Structure 1
Amino acid sequence: MKYYIISGEASGDLHGSNLMKAIFEQDLKAEIRFWGGDLMAEVGGTLVSHYKERAFMGFAEIITNLSKIFSFIKFCKKDILKFNPDKIIFIDNSGFNLRIAKWAKINKFRTVYYISPQVWASRPGRVKDIKRDIDEMYVVLPFVKDFYKKYDYNVNFVGHPLLDAIANRKKIHEIEFKKQHNLSDKPIIALLPGSRKQEIKKMLSIMLSVAKKFQDYQFVIAGAPSQEYDFYKQFITDENVKFISNKTYELLSISYAALVTSGTATLETALLKVPEVVCYKTSWLSYQIGKRLIDLKFISLVNLIMDKEVVKELIQEDFNKSNLEIEMKKILNDSERSKMFLDYYDLEKKLGGVGASTKAAKLIVSTTPKL
């Protein structure tokens, strides 16, 4: 069959690449055309558009780039018609994907969604449109299946693909890794300030503000593959701070603690068993709009899945040097760390074990193709 896959950021590229591998294993004649990134490109198929071209963050930035976004939507529709796939697979990225899905359904394409839009977090009214436009929905969080059940929409929980990505990660030797990247023997505190320039600007300076208070540790910035070192170096003023690009899993696997920008990385950090503080700060306008749209007790996936505060969340004005120092001391404390580790193991059990990509691919390949 022919598959057209649309993902929109680094995490979608990761999950898309694992799904593509599984599809190629299940369907030896598969043809795949996709919107994604470097990881998906390494698997095979044809890359149409890189997610870096569409990395718009926050309500304000999206509004100022509406013309670009609409041009991408127009081009995507034309490209789908030309390729004429048996199935269109959407990965997260709801703002873009749900618009394409509505059009695709009208044009009689079979539509698949892998990793549900976060309608459980905001604007649940969108479920009506999802039920109308999506033929197959595969969710990766256990509570999302229960959410959809309330709307009489039957979806498949396949487990979380991060478990696959972590299980398949490249294993490293700690001493060699530290030597290769000019790191000292001090325990590592990893800093994950996000992947987009706007969020890195807001997050990294505050994260680094506590470095001088913890001289017994070395702080290491996990650089995103979408950004160059020249962008990060403006924030680095302390010799106790190092930088490593595009090796987040390797870095986390040898880290003692981490400061993590809210998003998929909070779950990755927890599954790699690293005590963390979750941080989030955006523009005043974006925060005010988001606060009115999102109805959740927590913002981090770790706490949402566990339905309790496992990791501390410092949001907007609470994300400051004083609070960060207090929470840092807690995650470096042995008793606090022990409690967090126990919760992390329970978290992993709730996510259903490895094999999400294969489960999803088997269902996608075996179900009805184009209408």
Structure 2
Amino acid sequence: MRYYLIAGEASGDLHGANLMKALRAEDGAAEFRYYGGNKMKAVGGVLDKHYSEMAFMGFTEVLLNLRTIFKNIKACKAAVMAYRPDVLILIDFPGFNLKIAEFAKANGMMVCYYISPKVWAWNQKRVLKIKKVVDKMFCILPFEVDFYREWGMEVDYVGNPLLDEIAQFTPDPEFRKKYGLEKELIALLPGSRRQEIERLLPDMLSVTAQFPDHHFVVAAAPSFDEAYYRQFIKTENVTLVFSQTYNLLQVAKAAIVTSGTATLETALFHVPQVVVYRGGAISVAIARALVKIRFISLVNLIMDRAVVTELIQNDCNTGNITVTLKNILQGPVREKMLDDYRELSAKMGTAGASQRTARLILNSMNSAGRMADMPI
């Protein structure tokens, strides 16, 4: 069968790659084309566009890059139409993917959505559009099932794909030695998008002088080169590593993490963290007016309480990061966070989201009569 997948950022690339592996295990004749990244490319198939050319963060940034976004959407529609997949699989990235879903549905394609848009956070009426243009929705947060049901849409909860990736991870026992890391480590996870890195990495690095007994390690995104990151690093107790995030979290004492999927990954590795976020002033003002949730980090959202400290906008500064980081390096705040992490891990369940999703996609295709000649 022919599959077209669209992932617009690093986390989508990760989950898309795992789903492709699972689809291939279920369907030996699977063929792939996609918008994605290096992880999906490593699985096989044809990469039509890399996510690094597509991700824009915040309302203002989107407005400033509308021409590029519309150009990307037009190109993607043409690529999907030319390939004519048996199923289109959209992975998060709603601003882009819902437009592609509408186009694909109008052209008679089956549309599956893996990792729900965060419609529960703002503009909930988008569910009405989703019901029209998406055939099957696969969710990775348990509370999303009840949310969609309230809007008259049945969805499948498949578990969280991060558990798949973590289950497959084998720590490198030589990681510390390779990079000459002898002190206790503080991981810096500044995100994978240029706007995130340029706004938040300087804040993260601003505290390094306050912790001379620790070594800071930046988890760098492979879509940028070393020279790009070096412009931000001014002190000696900072090391840069590429594509080593899980090895870093495996040995880190604590972490400073940009809000996003990485906050949940850090928690699942049981690394105490402080969550930071800084966006454009206009974008954040609009978001605060529209967003209807109490927290920005996945850890706090899933637990429905403040497990990790969130430092947003002006609160994201050297003083606040320093105080919060000291509190999670030792003492009762750290111990309470580790207890909460254990509860979170139990709530998240077990690995297998990718396999469950692949089987549900194939079953849906079979039910729709698109795989009549293929045994499931």
TM range (shorter): over 0.9
1:179 aligned residue: 177
1:225 aligned residue: 222
8 Å contact from structure 2 (residues 56, 195) kept in 1: no
**CA offsets 1:29-77 (integer angstroms, 9 cap, x no match):** 1111111111001111111111111122222221122122112111211
Whole-angstrom CA distance in 2 between matches of 1:131 and 1:193: 35
2:102 aligned residue: 102
Superposition CA RMSD, Å: 1.2
Matched, 1:188 2:185: yes
Whole-angstrom CA distance in 2 between matches of 1:35 and 1:197: 18
Q: Which runs of 4+ in 1 moved over 3 A?
A: none
1:72 aligned residue: 72
Deviation at 1:305, TM superposition (A): 0.2
Residue 305 of structure 2, aligned match among 298, 303, 308: 308
Matched, 1:212 2:209: yes
**CA offsets 1:103-130 (integer angstroms, 9 cap, x no match):** 1111111110000001011110100000
8 Å contact from structure 2 (residues 52, 193) kept in 1: no
Whole-angstrom CA distance in 2 between matches of 1:77 and 1:284: 33
**CA offsets 1:185-214 (integer angstroms, 9 cap, x no match):** 211000111112221111111111111111
8 Å contact from structure 1 (residues 86, 370) kept in 2: no
Matched, 1:274 2:271: yes
Matched, 1:151 2:151: yes
Give the match's secondary structure for 1:313. strand
Deviation at 1:335, TM superposition (A): 2.3
2:86 aligned residue: 86
Matched, 1:294 2:291: yes
**CA offsets 1:62-105 (integer angstroms, 9 cap, x no match):** 11221221121112112212111111000000000000111111
Deviation at 1:226, TM superposition (A): 1.3
Identical counterparts, % of pairs: 51
Matched, 1:4 2:9: no
Whole-angstrom CA distance in 2 between matches of 1:234 and 1:83: 42
Whole-angstrom CA distance in 2 between matches of 1:6 and 1:86: 14
8 Å contact from structure 2 (residues 222, 242) kept in 1: yes
Deviation at 1:334, TM superposition (A): 3.2
Deviation at 1:352, TM superposition (A): 2.6
The AA in structure 1 aligned to 2:257 is: V
8 Å contact from structure 2 (residues 121, 293) kept in 1: yes
Deviation at 1:370, TM superposition (A): 7.2
8 Å contact from structure 1 (residues 87, 370) kept in 2: no
Matched, 1:346 2:338: no
Whole-angstrom CA distance in 2 between matches of 1:29 and 1:116: 27
Give the match's secondary structure for 2:231. helix
Deviation at 1:177, TM superposition (A): 1.3
Matched, 1:129 2:163: no
- In structure 1, the gaps of 5 or more residues are none
8 Å contact from structure 2 (residues 159, 349) kept in 1: yes
The AA in structure 2 aligned to 1:64 is: L
2:374 aligned residue: none
1:162 aligned residue: 162
Deviation at 1:282, TM superposition (A): 1.0
Whole-angstrom CA distance in 1 between matches of 2:55 and 2:157: 28
Whole-angstrom CA distance in 2 between matches of 1:89 and 1:45: 14
Change beyond 3 A, Cα 1:172–1:346: same
Deviation at 1:250, TM superposition (A): 0.8
**CA offsets 1:133-183 (integer angstroms, 9 cap, x no match):** 10000000111111111111110000000001011113211xx21221122
Whole-angstrom CA distance in 2 between matches of 1:207 and 1:280: 11
8 Å contact from structure 1 (residues 110, 135) kept in 2: yes
TM-score, length-normalised on structure 2?
0.95
Give the match's secondary structure for 2:42. helix
1:337 aligned residue: 334
Whole-angstrom CA distance in 1 between matches of 2:77 and 2:235: 49
Whole-angstrom CA distance in 1 between matches of 2:29 and 2:229: 43
8 Å contact from structure 1 (residues 109, 370) kept in 2: no
In the comparison of the two structures, how many residue pairs are matched? 368
Whole-angstrom CA distance in 1 between matches of 2:230 and 2:85: 44
Whole-angstrom CA distance in 2 between matches of 1:333 and 1:297: 27
- In structure 2, the gaps of 5 or more residues are 371-376
Whole-angstrom CA distance in 2 between matches of 1:263 and 1:12: 12
1:51 aligned residue: 51
Whole-angstrom CA distance in 1 between matches of 2:68 and 2:329: 45
Give the match's secondary structure for 2:103. helix
